[in-house]
Structure 1
Amino acid sequence: MSSKSRDNEDNCEGQSALKEELNKKIKEQKVVVDELSNLKKTRKVYIQQTNSNIFFLADRSQTLSASKKELDNMKKDLQDM
């Protein structure tokens, strides 16, 4: 097997692994969006501070719209692969 074809196989396997990881993240994000969509208006939502174990009270509708945007971006990235 030539070096070029081996590199091509490695690249395909790497891209396949990236697609699988992105699909997994998309499924997780869909669950987040569904959970936020089904919350009662009076429920409180907390978001985690990046790289921390601290949570802050957040607006439910803003959190939902941010989660939807993130999901759309993930789907777009998957299509671009």
Structure 2
Amino acid sequence: MWERNNQIKEQKIVVDELSNLKKNRKVYRQQPNSNIFFLADRTETLSQCKNKLDELKKAHQEIENSEKSKIKK
């Protein structure tokens, strides 16, 4: 539960940082399981990060709802 909260906080920060970048700034994405970074499209990266944030929030909400229903029973 705490880990998911931390992931949501981190993702919110990433989305906020990408949203506030100037248009001409470059964005690099790290390749999974490596120390290699590649140039990425800012708007595409922002969109992907927003989607990931939405998924994390949805999963968190589902967990909370299932815990609440267990408590009620």
**TM-score of the pair, normalised by structure 2:** 0.85
Matching residue within 11, 18, 22 for 1:36: 18
Mapped pair 1:27 → 2:26 = no
Partner of 2:15, secondary structure, is helix
Aligned-residue sequence identity (percent) comes to: 67
After the TM superposition, which parts of structure 1 deviate over 4 Å for at least 4 consecutive aligned residues?
A: none
1:52 deviates by 0.3
Is the partner of 2:13 in helix, strand or coil?
Answer: helix
Q: Which structure has the higher relative contact order (CA within 8 Å, separation 6+)?
A: 2
Structure 1, unmatched stretches of 5+, are: 1-18
Q: For 1:61-72, list aligned pairs within 5 A.
A: 61-72=43-54
For 2:8 and 2:46, the matched residues in 1 are separated by 15
Residue equivalent to 1:6 = none
SS in structure 2 opposite 1:56? strand
Ranges in structure 2 where 5+ consecutive residues have no aligned partner = 64-73
In 1, the alpha carbon distance for the partners of 2:31 and 2:6 equals 22
Correspondence for 1:77: 59
TM-score by length of 1: 0.77
